[in-house]
Copies of this chain bind each other. A is one copy, B any other.
Amino acid sequence: MQASPFQQSFQSSECHARCGQLKTLHGEIETPVFMPVGTQATVKGMTPEALKEVGAQIILGNTYHLYLRPGHELIREFGGLHQFMHWDRPILTDSGGFQIFSLQELAKISEKGVAFRSHLDGSPLFLSPEDAVHVQEALGSDIMMALDTCIPYPASRDETIRATALTNRWAKRCRVAQPQTGQLLFGIIQGGMYSDLRLEAIQELQDIGFDGYALGGLSVGEPKEEMLAILAECGHRMPRDHARYLMGVGTPEDLVEGVFHGIDMFDCVMPTRNARNGMLFTSQGRVVIKNACFQKDASPLDPCCTCYTCRHYSRAYLRHLFQSREILAYQLNSIHNLHYYCTLMADMREAIQQDRFLAFRSEFYRQRGGLQTAMQPT
């Protein structure tokens, strides 16, 4: 374990929000940061150039999907995921665990690892903690995630204790298997909805020592209040001298709350998936672009937005493309939503640096609360 690759540069005097820089093999990331999800070696509908234009500093790749297709050994032969997909900025890969558990009802966990079947052809496969690290090493990601178990919601305290303990033993094995490549390895904090178990897990993982720490197993079906309670208890209690990553979360509001509680990194499929479903994030709330009210609307999607889509196209055109199921609809909508997410993070970084994060947060809710109703379908 080297010195921490994370350096905090600003700390809010009002709350736990903070700015920092995370050093990786492919450059430094300004935090807090949102990571667009590129499941199958592509962020759906986005060229790498378009990703850069919306301000993406780092993307996430899904180990499970890449392991199955095209295969991590093929990607290694191609010089890693960066080279394969023409993306020269940092990449974080998950461990594959979450996808195995969420796509596979029949996944079987043992001390050794997890047995599962390919969702593509049903072939039996096995992933140990060491395998998860080796696959991510082959992918060449800048940040690797330790293999964890996924605790369902709801789960009893006993069940949660057992699963968290196994996650921690797996974390240790991942740490031992970490290669000397300069690739960072993050540990994942489980503990379900029991904040005392979460705090214990933080301590155990910190004792092992990772390059960064993630809150896993949130946004898995629990009421929003439960997630926010865990976040409030644990966010700022994760190691201060390392990057803190809230996995798989979330809505724009979740990002603001996460930063408020001291989180540095986020990923979520929401901006891209919602874009493909015609649900767009704007400074005035959510827009469902297929709604008839936009049929003759010559205004841009979001008058406050400077993205490619908002600079050149009307709501009427976006609605037409979406209704016609044109590929360009998915492209333009994805550009807008990712720009919205990346700009939200940049705005939060600026607010923190100017030590006015609470004012930013209030204004964020005020704007959205005031106008959101008018934009909803009737």
**Chain A residues near B (Cβ < 8 Å):** 40-42, 44-48, 69-70, 74, 77-78, 84-86, 295-296, 298, 308, 312-314, 316-317, 319-321, 323-324, 326-328, 330-331
Q: Given contacts A42-B321, A42-B328, list 14 more A-B pairs with CB under 8 A.
A: A40-B320, A41-B321, A44-B326, A45-B328, A45-B331, A74-B295, A74-B316, A78-B298, A78-B314, A78-B317, A84-B314, A84-B316, A86-B317, A327-B330
Among B296, B308, B317, B331, point to the contact of A327 (Cβ < 8 A).
B331
Chain B residues positioned under 8 Å from A295 (CB to CB)? 70, 74
Among B41, B46, B296, B323, point to the contact of A74 (Cβ < 8 A).
B296
Chain B residues positioned under 8 Å from A312 (CB to CB)? 48, 86
Chain B residues positioned under 8 Å from A331 (CB to CB)? 45, 47, 327, 331
- Most chain B CB within a 10 A radius of its CB, from A47, A77, A313: A47
Chain B residues positioned under 8 Å from A320 (CB to CB)? 40-41, 69-70
**Which residue of the partner chain B has the closest CB to A327?**
B45
Give Cα A313 to B47, complex, Å: 11
**Which residue of the partner chain B has the closest CB to A320?**
B70
**Given contacts A84-B317, A312-B86, A314-B78, A47 and B328 within 8 Å (CB-CB):** yes
Chain B residues positioned under 8 Å from A324 (CB to CB)? 40, 42, 69
**Given contacts A70-B320, A326-B44, A313 and B78 within 8 Å (CB-CB):** no
Among B313, B316, B326, point to the contact of A86 (Cβ < 8 A).
B313
A271 to chain B minimum Cβ distance, whole angstroms, is 15
Supply 6 A–B pairs (Cβ within 8 Å), ascending by A.
A40-B324, A40-B326, A42-B324, A45-B328, A69-B323, A84-B317
A69 to chain B minimum Cβ distance, whole angstroms, is 6
Chain B residues positioned under 8 Å from A42 (CB to CB)? 321, 324, 326-328
Number of copies of chain A assembled together: 2
A88 to chain B minimum Cβ distance, whole angstroms, is 11
Chain B residues positioned under 8 Å from A316 (CB to CB)? 70, 74, 78, 84
Docked-complex contact A46 and B328, CB < 8 angstroms: yes
**Which residue of the partner chain B has the closest CB to A73?**
B296
**Which residue of the partner chain B has the closest CB to A325?**
B40
- The list of the 10 closest CB pairs from A to B, nearest first, reads A45-B327, A86-B312, A70-B320, A42-B328, A40-B324, A42-B326, A44-B327, A327-B330, A84-B317, A40-B326
Docked-complex contact A77 and B296, CB < 8 angstroms: yes
Give Cα A77 to B74, complex, Å: 52
**Which residue of the partner chain B has the closest CB to A45?**
B327
**Which residue of the partner chain B has the closest CB to A48?**
B312
A157 to chain B minimum Cβ distance, whole angstroms, is 41
**Which residue of the partner chain B has the closest CB to A308?**
B47
**Which residue of the partner chain B has the closest CB to A40?**
B324
Give Cα A46 to B50, complex, Å: 13
Give Cα A334 to B47, complex, Å: 13
Chain B residues positioned under 8 Å from A69 (CB to CB)? 320, 323-324
Chain B residues positioned under 8 Å from A313 (CB to CB)? 86
- Most chain B CB within a 10 A radius of its CB, from A295, A312, A323, A326: A326
- Most chain B CB within a 10 A radius of its CB, from A42, A69, A323: A42
Chain B residues positioned under 8 Å from A319 (CB to CB)? 70
